[in-house]
Amino acid sequence: HRCRRCSEVAVEVNHIEPLRGRVRVSSCLNHQTNLEALCHACHLVVTGEQFGWRTHEQAQQDRRDQRDLDEIALRMVQVRSHS
């Protein structure tokens, strides 16, 4: 089988609609229509997306964005205090 995302050799099976702690044996989420073959790298990415995990790079960008917003807010306070 080939990875559904990148066409590399698929070695893992992903639940398209994640189980998220649901009963695993009797759940319809184990039906074949809810499964896709993925390579390990794509499975990690998809799982991260499904569960809202942030990559290291995304977290760094979030911190930079927050610093920029904090700096803008500080400048606004300074401008208002001088008015």
In tens digits, the chain (83 residues) has pLDDT values of 999 999 999 999 999 988 866 555 566 777 889 999 999 989 988 888 888 887 767 777 888 888 888 899 899 888 888 87
Distance CA 3, CA 24 (A): 23
- Which residues are CB-neighbours of 55 under 8 A, at least 6 positions away? 48
Task: Indicate yes or no: pTM above 0.85.
Answer: no
Q: What is the CA radius of gyration of the chain?
A: 21
